[in-house]
Amino acid sequence: MQHLRQLEDQSVYILREAYKHFDNLAMLWSMGKDSTVLLWLARKAFFGHVPFPLLHVDTSFKIPAMIEYRDRVAREWGLKLVVGQNKEALAAGMNSAMGRVNCCTALKTNGLKQLIEQKGYTGIILGVRADEEGTRAKERYFSPRDKHGDWDFRDQPPELWDQFKTTFPPGTHIRIHPLLDWTEINIWEYIKAENIPFIDLYLDKGDGTRYRSLGCAPCTTPIKSTAKSVDDIINELRHTTTAERSGRAQDEGRGMELLRKDGYM
């Protein structure tokens, strides 16, 4: 438990720094396990309140149960939900058959960029974790994006102790990553410790499969697993050496580096 509390304290500190410094702040919520833990941490940081809107970039290809879960939790917790969608790209028929990186760029990266531009957000809180894949391992807690939303990973600002980059030129924004130090197991241990309601797609409901990582339906495949509870998941993860995102198609080759440099989450 001690190690979870240490992670919690650091994430709460980061969330409070973000809230203090950014007038137009929002949190990305994909309804997956990570961003749901992030949302819970916000309630911890602000004593039951979530003082900024939650953004969902809807690709229209999400698994329907996710949308149901989203609306129910938003209602119960009194969240301010903002849903964005790249309607233009969808109208032009964008889908994963047109290339996975193309599809992610259009519907997620550009969908997010449109939302940021429309609403003028200057700070976006995201639930990315360093252990998910290589480029995320190199992120800062407070990571600047330029006018085009691009990430200059070659020249990241220094981050010293608990002092973060909270000032930025007009027209740019900062991505805030409170979960960088959390591992996949930590996420589940915390869900268990805090009894956080999560979407049941992560559990095996009898057919011997479950989702380990959630994305769009066409590009996310379930894994073989008989984990029917959080305890089962934790136990399974302690014994696996398969990568978490092995069921996420856009990670193949250099997909994530290319996506993230252009502002993917």
Partner 1 sequence: MDNLTQKPSDNLNIVIVGHVDHGKSTLLGRLYADTGSLPDGKLEKVQAICRQQGKEFEYAFLFDAFLEEQEQGITIDTARTFFGWKGRQYIIIDAPGHKEFLKNMISGAARAEGALLLIDALEGVKEQSKKHGYLLSLLGVRQFAVVVNKMDLVGYRQDVFDGIEKEYREFLGQFKAVPLQIIPVSAKLGDNIANRSEQMPWYKGPTVLDSLSAFKKEPGRSEQPLRMPVQDVYKFDARRIIAGRVNAGRVKVGDALVFSPSNKRATVKSIEAFNVESLPIEGHAGQSVGITLDEQIFVERGEVASHQEALPLVSTAFRANVFWLGRKPLERGRRYQLRVATKEVDCEVAAIHRIIDTMDLSQQQGSNVVNRNQVAELTIRAKVPVAFDLSASFEATGRFVLVDEYDIAGGGIVTELVHDDQEFLREEARQRDFAWVKGEVGVEDRAQQYGHRAAIVLVTGGRHTGKSFLAKTIEARLVADGRHAYLLDGGNLLRGLDADLSEGERGQAAEMARRYGEVARLLVDTGLIVVSTTNPFGMAYGEAAQAIRTLVHPVPVIAVHMSKVPEEAPPNTDIVLSGPTDFDEGTRRILDELKRRGVLARAIGAKPTFQYSI
Residues found near partner 1 in the complex (CB under 8 A): 2-3, 5-10, 12-13, 16-17, 19-20, 43-49, 51, 130-131, 133-135, 137-138, 140, 153-154, 156-163, 165, 167-169, 180-181, 183, 186, 194, 238-239, 241-243, 254, 257
Whichever of 96 and 198 has its CB closer to partner 1, that residue is 198
Residues with Cβ within 8 Å of 193's Cβ and at least 6 positions away in sequence, in order, are 1, 4
- Indicate the helix (H) or strand (E) that contains 145: strand 142-145
Report how far residue 17's alpha carbon sits from residue 157's, in angstroms, rounded to the nearest whole number. Answer: 17
Minimum Å gap between C-beta 3 and partner 1 is 5
Asked if residue 125 lies in contact with residue 26, where contact means CB atoms within 8 angstroms, the answer is yes
Minimum Å gap between C-beta 86 and partner 1 is 27
Minimum Å gap between C-beta 125 and partner 1 is 16
Residue recorded with tokens 């940021």:
116
Whole-angstrom CA distances from 14 to 123, 181, 213 are 12, 12, 25
Report how far residue 50's alpha carbon sits from residue 226's, in angstroms, rounded to the nearest whole number. Answer: 35
Minimum Å gap between C-beta 236 and partner 1 is 11
Minimum Å gap between C-beta 15 and partner 1 is 9
Whichever of 91 and 160 has its CB closer to partner 1, that residue is 160
Minimum Å gap between C-beta 93 and partner 1 is 31
Minimum Å gap between C-beta 130 and partner 1 is 4
Asked if residue 108 lies in contact with residue 57, where contact means CB atoms within 8 angstroms, the answer is yes
Selection from 199, 218, 178 nearest residue 15 by Cα: 178
Whichever of 8 and 58 has its CB closer to partner 1, that residue is 8
Whichever of 15 and 115 has its CB closer to partner 1, that residue is 15
Asked if residue 81 lies in contact with residue 54, where contact means CB atoms within 8 angstroms, the answer is yes
Residue recorded with tokens 């990670």:
251
Residue recorded with tokens 């010293």:
160
Selection from 60, 9, 49 nearest residue 27 by Cα: 49
Whichever of 157 and 218 has its CB closer to partner 1, that residue is 157
Whichever of 19 and 69 has its CB closer to partner 1, that residue is 19
Report how far residue 214's alpha carbon sits from residue 201's, in angstroms, rounded to the nearest whole number. Answer: 8
Whichever of 163 and 229 has its CB closer to partner 1, that residue is 163
If you count them, how many residues does the chain have?
A: 265
